[in-house]
């Protein structure tokens, strides 16, 4: 279903003597299922699927964690760009299946939505001290809110950071020494409704190697790309030092449901549906944003998401093809 690694119970499942048909998996469990990512579920668990007609809607920020962001968020400082390129942070909240009771549950949640990890303080607050301190240039959440973070020192310790209007970007150590009771016993869940998950740092080396080998460059309208057809994309890259459109493995070095290659100023997650042309005779495209506001669609191809013959958008759909990446083969 349309949430990160989201599933809904369509049969009868006995738990505490109650029949929970039509319950979301995350309403019955603390975190999304790892089998939803690995594809190793018992076939008896997932024998059915229901497909719906797509809504003609490319809207991005109606509600949820993204609602406090600028319409399209962009890195405006060197630190923000570094965080965006290396950590690829993504906000998650209640509508994404995040329950936010304890620090360890937050760790498990990030892992279950794409092998991610909790973000450190510099990712939560790259603009600390400004009126919009949170990643990326977003307002603090309403009233008092705390989010679990990882230590930047590398020491395995639990700490929480303020992301609401109170104590914004300050840790519990600076405000509440010692660790507050609600962080230990899972109480006061209304204070812990959001989390920022980052890419596993172990994956950065692969991206750096690709950048070294193929020198990929992200371009958009400011460089003259007008969101044309696949053939026009090939001609566009050709005009920049005899480059070519990048292959899927460069756009998405870690595969579906993971972040795209860094180097772009815009946080594609805030643009909603965004496609980019992939190198190859089949003229496929890849989702570099989020369709249905679902991160699970990121890095899926047009064949996987649209089916049939890959679309060759060359007309009125330029608004969903704002970005292109060109490589030196």
* Confidence grade of residue 4 (pLDDT, cut at 50, 70, 90): low
Sequence-separated (6 or more) residues with CB below 8 Å from residue 261:
207, 210, 211, 216, 218, 246, 250, 251, 252, 253, 325
Which tens digits make up the pLDDT trace of 208-235? 999 999 999 999 999 999 999 999 999 9
Contact (CB, 8 A) for 96 and 4: yes
Rg (CA), the chain: 21
- What pLDDT is recorded for position 108? 93
Q: What is the pLDDT of residue 154?
A: 58
How many other C-beta atoms lie within 10 A of the C-beta of residue 109? Answer: 26
The reply to whether 187 and 80 lie within a common domain is: yes
Q: What percent of the chain is modeled with pLDDT above 70?
A: 79
Asked if residue 47 and residue 86 are part of one domain, the reply reads no
Q: Is the pLDDT of residue 133 over 70?
A: yes
Please check whether residues 72 and 193 belong to one and the same domain. Answer: yes
Residues 193, 209, single domain; the answer is: no
Does the residue 58 lie in any domain? Answer: no
Looking at the structure, do residues 182 and 233 belong to the same domain, yes or no?
A: no
How far apart (Å, rounded) are the C-alpha atoms in residues 248 and 279? 7
Locus of tokens 């279950």: 112
pLDDT band, residue 37 (cuts 50/70/90): low
At residue 110, the pLDDT reads 93
Domains contained in the chain, number: 3
- Same-domain check for residues 78 and 90: yes
The answer on 239 and 174 residing in a single domain is no
Contacts of 135 by beta carbon, 8 Å cutoff, 6+ apart: 80, 83, 89, 91, 119, 123, 124, 125, 126, 127, 196
pLDDT band, very low/low/confident/very high, at 199 (cuts 50, 70, 90):
very high
Looking at every residue in the chain, the average pLDDT score rounds to: 83
Residue 162 has pLDDT above 60, yes or no: yes
User: What is the per-residue pLDDT for 189?
Assistant: 93
Report the distance separating Cα 146 and Cα 156, nearest Å: 19
pLDDT reading at 168 higher than 70: yes
How many percent of the chain have pLDDT more than 90?
A: 50
Examine the fold and report which residue of 134, 167, 199 is the final residue of a domain before the chain moves on: 199
Q: How many CA atoms lie within 13 A of 29 on its CB side?
A: 16
Is 60 part of a structural domain of the chain? Answer: no
Q: Say how many CA atoms lie within 13 Å of 142 toward its Cβ.
A: 4
What confidence category does residue 10 fall into, taking pLDDT thresholds of 50, 70 and 90?
Answer: confident
Residues 71 and 194 in one domain: yes
How far is Cα 77 from Cα 139, in angstroms, rounded to an integer?
17
- Is 107 within a domain? yes
Tokens standing for 178? 């010692």
The pLDDT assigned to 75 comes to 86
Q: Is the dihedral of CA 113, 115, 118, 120 positive or negative?
A: negative
Q: Domain residues for 27? A: 1-53
DSSP of 233-293: HHHHHHTTTS-EEPPHHHH-TT-TTSPPPS--SB-GGGG-S-EEEPSSTT--EEE-S-BTT
Tokens 């048909």 belong to which residue?
21
Cα–Cα dist 217/243, whole Å: 10
| Helix/strand/coil for 27 | helix
Q: Residue 299: inside a domain, yes or no? A: yes
Single pTM value for the model? 0.79
* 153, pLDDT greater than 70: no
Query: Does residue 189 lie within any of the structural domains?
Result: yes
Domain-ending residue, one of 199, 217, 249:
199
Q: Do 246 and 296 have their domain in common?
A: yes
Helix ranges, the chain (H): 25-28, 35-38, 78-87, 103-112, 121-124, 172-175, 181-185, 204-214, 230-238, 248-251, 302-306
> Does residue 263 have a pLDDT over 90?
yes
């Amino acid at each position: 279903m349309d949430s990160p690694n989201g599933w809904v119970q369509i049969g009868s499942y006995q738990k505490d003597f109650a029949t929970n048909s039509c319950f979301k998996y995350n309403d019955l469990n603390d975190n999304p299922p790892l089998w939803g990512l690995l594809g190793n579920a018992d076939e008896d668990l997932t024998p059915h699927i229901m497909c719906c007609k797509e809504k003609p809607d490319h809207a991005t920020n109606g509600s949820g964690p993204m609602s406090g962001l600028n319409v399209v968020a962009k890195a405006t400082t060197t630190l923000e760009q570094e965080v965006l390129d290396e950590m690829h942070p993504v906000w998650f909240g209640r509508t994404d299946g995040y329950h936010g009771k304890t620090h360890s549950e937050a760790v498990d949640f990030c892992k279950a939505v794409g092998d991610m990890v909790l973000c450190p303080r510099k990712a939560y607050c790259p603009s600390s001290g400004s009126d919009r301190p949170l990643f990326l240039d977003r307002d603090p959440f309403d009233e008092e809110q705390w989010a679990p973070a990882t230590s930047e020192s590398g020491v395995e310790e639990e700490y929480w950071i303020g992301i609401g209007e109170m104590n914004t970007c300050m840790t519990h150590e600076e405000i509440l020494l010692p660790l507050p009771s609600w962080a230990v016993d899972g109480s006061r869940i209304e204070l812990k409704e959001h989390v920022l998950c980052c890419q596993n740092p172990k994956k950065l080396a692969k991206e750096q190697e690709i950048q070294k080998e193929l020198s990929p460059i992200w371009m958009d309208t400011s460089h003259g790309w007008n969101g044309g057809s696949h053939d026009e994309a090939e001609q566009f890259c050709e005009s920049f030092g005899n480059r070519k459109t990048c292959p899927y493995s460069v756009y998405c070095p870690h595969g579906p449901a993971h972040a795209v290659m860094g180097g772009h100023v815009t946080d594609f997650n805030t643009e909603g549906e965004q496609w980019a042309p992939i190198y190859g005779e089949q003229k496929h495209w890849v989702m570099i944003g989020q369709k249905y506001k679902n991160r699970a669609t990121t890095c899926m191809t047009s064949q996987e998401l649209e089916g049939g013959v890959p679309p060759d958008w060359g007309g009125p759909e330029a608004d969903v093809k704002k970005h292109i990446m060109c490589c030196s083969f």
